[in-house]
């Protein structure tokens, strides 16, 4: 690698919500900037790529914006919404689902071995909207590296990836650093910090502190800055529905279910039975069909009607009321998060859980509003009740959606990677909710996770899915 050069230097920069006194980013740097949800960490993205201009201080850039690769949940969401917009116009044919994966990448680099390293070769002809959250994250990394970006800014890049892919992506970043690319990881969980990172910073209450000295000394200062972080676990509001009133043998039953998209079986003759209070953990590689399995149960996968699927004792496609099923089901998923683009405040999002709607179109009762506020307090978001949902950080939005799922005390609580985007304190808070739910015995949990520290003893059943290429 050539002698390092300064790519970006920030001096005495101040913008709304973020202060940076002095920070120099050089070629070949490996950075971890740690911050909790709402600390101002995400504003670093906007400042570095020039989306925000500080009202004080100086930003010196020795590279163009197109030489910076940004990998974030917000960018994934913006791409998804653009694909939805394209599908609603005449720009693409009716039989197309938008932009294919290969079209995001430089056409001269489609044989690059990096595509195989990140296990995306088999998805090159898939449409972007068909990708799982983890797959779309890998696509963003691929695009940045194949476009030869000189600086990568990655906001919690390891969230929603299976353990094998976490290691592969971490190694990809390490090799990029070795070749002279600067990599900045914006992280919210200390367990995600790779051992190849050499430089550290911490953002809290909108102030970025950059450490110096030896790696061990920097890590010690980071640990001291983060602190113990004891969480206050508010009590769960009293439940309106109790599971002991449910008398069917199974909450959900799937018999030899097969889901096929194009020439690929996502699920192949899968049989799953979920009894009341049989809390179930679902694991598997990215793209193995975990979200599809959940979609068969929730009804979000339309192939549930061509398979033998029963939920709450009702066989799908036999005239059951969709809304009767939804009323007893709470959901947090990446797909719901992507689709929640309606403009409303946080309290309205929570109260929309009573009506199973995206957006609030019915007037909630006073007891429902009161319950919505209680759940916002339970996820430590009470002060944000009137804040527009779209103005919240990704992690804060996730907390609001968790409150939305819990607000009606569902018989079945489906949690598809619910802690994605959450810092370690809020992850502990959510896991604490789950333990309280088990103790109260009013909901059955169906939980998808890649994080080993989330494989709690309360799970009575473990379903592991494998990738079918």
Residue 271 φ then ψ, to 5°: -120, 125
Distance CA(407)–CA(442), nearest Å, equals 13
pLDDT of residue 53 exceeding 60: yes
Query: Mean per-residue pLDDT for 443-454?
Result: 90
Distance CA(286)–CA(136), nearest Å, equals 10
Query: Mean per-residue pLDDT for 439-468?
Result: 89
Query: Mean per-residue pLDDT for 194-207?
Result: 95
Alpha helix stretches (DSSP H) within 147-190: 163-178
pLDDT of residue 45 exceeding 70: yes
**pLDDT recorded at residue 161:** 86
Both structure tokens of 212 = 């110096």
Distance CA(103)–CA(142), nearest Å, equals 12
Q: Which CATH superfamily is domain 6-226 in?
A: P-loop containing nucleotide triphosphate hydrolases (3.40.50.300)
pLDDT in tens, 275-285: 999 999 999 88
Distance CA(247)–CA(120), nearest Å, equals 45
Q: Which of 58-62, 178-182, 197-201, 434-438 shows the lowest mean pLDDT across its residues?
A: 434-438
| Number of other residues whose CB lies within 10 A of the CB of residue 29 | 20
pLDDT of residue 75 exceeding 70: yes
Alpha helix stretches (DSSP H) within 243-312: 290-298
- Are 279 and 433 within 8 A, CB to CB? no
pLDDT of residue 211 exceeding 60: yes
Residues of the chain with CATH 3.40.50.300: 6-226, 246-465
Radius of gyration of the chain, Cα coordinates, nearest whole angstrom = 23
Percent of the chain residues past pLDDT 90, beyond the cut:
53
pLDDT of residue 31 exceeding 60: yes
Q: Which of 235-239, 390-394, 401-405, 459-463 shows the lowest mean pLDDT across its residues?
A: 235-239
Query: Mean per-residue pLDDT for 394-400?
Result: 89
Distance CA(275)–CA(222), nearest Å, equals 45
Within 8 A by CB and 6+ apart from 305, the residues are 316, 317
pLDDT in tens, 239-261: 545 566 667 789 999 999 999 88
pLDDT of residue 463 exceeding 90: yes
Cα-based distances in Å from 255 to 29, 299, 321: 52, 15, 21
pLDDT in tens, 107-141: 999 999 999 999 899 899 988 988 888 889 999 99
Strands (E), 135-251: 151-155, 182-187, 199-204, 207-210
**pLDDT recorded at residue 245:** 60
Task: Using DSSP, state whether 179 is helix, strand or coil.
Answer: coil
Both structure tokens of 237 = 């509001």
pLDDT of residue 461 exceeding 90: yes
Distance CA(243)–CA(439), nearest Å, equals 12
pTM: 0.85
| Number of other residues whose CB lies within 10 A of the CB of residue 212 | 9
Distance CA(189)–CA(207), nearest Å, equals 18
Task: Using DSSP, state whether 234 is helix, strand or coil.
Answer: coil
> Strand 264-274 and strand 30-34: pairing?
unpaired
Report the CATH fold assignment for 246-465: Rossmann fold (3.40.50)
Distance in Å from the first CA to the final CA of the chain: 37
Distance CA(72)–CA(270), nearest Å, equals 33
């Amino acid at each position: 690698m050539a002698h390092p050069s300064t790519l970006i230097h920030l001096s005495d920069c101040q913008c709304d919500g973020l202060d940076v006194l002095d920070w120099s980013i050089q070629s070949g740097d490996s950075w971890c900037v740690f911050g909790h949800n709402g600390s101002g960490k995400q504003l670093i993205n906007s400042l570095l790529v020039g989306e925000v201009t500080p009202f004080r201080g100086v930003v010196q850039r020795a590279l163009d914006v197109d030489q910076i690769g940004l990998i974030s949940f917000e960018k994934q969401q913006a791409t998804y919404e653009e694909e939805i917009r394209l599908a609603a116009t005449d720009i693409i044919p009716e039989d197309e689902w938008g932009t294919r994966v290969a079209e995001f990448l430089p056409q001269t680099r489609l044989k690059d071995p990096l595509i195989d390293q990140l296990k995306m070769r088999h998805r090159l002809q898939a449409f972007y909207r068909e990708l799982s959250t983890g797959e779309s994250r890998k696509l963003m990394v691929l695009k940045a590296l194949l476009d030869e970006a000189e600086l990568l800014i990655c906001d919690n890049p390891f969230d929603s990836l299976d353990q094998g892919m976490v290691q592969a992506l971490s190694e990809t970043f390490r090799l990029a650093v070795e070749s002279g690319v600067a990599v900045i990881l914006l992280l919210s969980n200390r367990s995600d910090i790779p051992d190849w990172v050499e430089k550290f910073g911490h953002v809290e209450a909108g102030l970025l502190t950059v450490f110096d000295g030896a790696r061990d000394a920097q890590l010690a200062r980071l640990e001291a800055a983060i602190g113990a972080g004891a969480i206050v676990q508010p009590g769960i509001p009293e439940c309106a529905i109790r599971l002991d009133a449910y008398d069917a043998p199974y909450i959900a039953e799937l018999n030899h279910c097969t889901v096929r998209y194009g020439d690929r079986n996502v699920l192949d003759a899968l049989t799953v039975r979920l009894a009341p209070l049989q809390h179930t953990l679902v694991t598997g590689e990215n793209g193995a069909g975990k979200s599809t399995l959940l979609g068969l149960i929730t009804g979000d996968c339309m192939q549930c009607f061509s398979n033998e699927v029963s939920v709450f004792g009702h066989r799908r496609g036999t005239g059951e009321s969709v809304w009767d099923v939804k009323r007893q089901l709470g959901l947090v998923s990446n797909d719901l998060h992507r689709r929640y683009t309606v403009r409303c405040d946080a309290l309205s999002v929570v109260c929309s859980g009573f009506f199973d709607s995206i957006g609030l179109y019915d007037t909630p009762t006073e007891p429902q509003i009161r319950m919505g506020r209680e759940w916002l307090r339970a996820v430590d978001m009470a002060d944000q009740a009137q804040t527009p949902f779209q103005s919240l950080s990704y992690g804060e939005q996730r907390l609001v959606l968790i409150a939305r799922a819990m607000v009606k005390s569902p018989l079945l609580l489906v949690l598809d990677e619910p802690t994605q985007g959450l810092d370690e304190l809020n992850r502990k808070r959510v896991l604490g909710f789950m333990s309280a739910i088990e103790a109260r015995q009013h909901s059955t949990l169906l939980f998808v996770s890649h994080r080993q520290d989330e494989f709690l003893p309360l799970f009575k059943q473990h379903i592991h899915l494998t990738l079918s290429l």
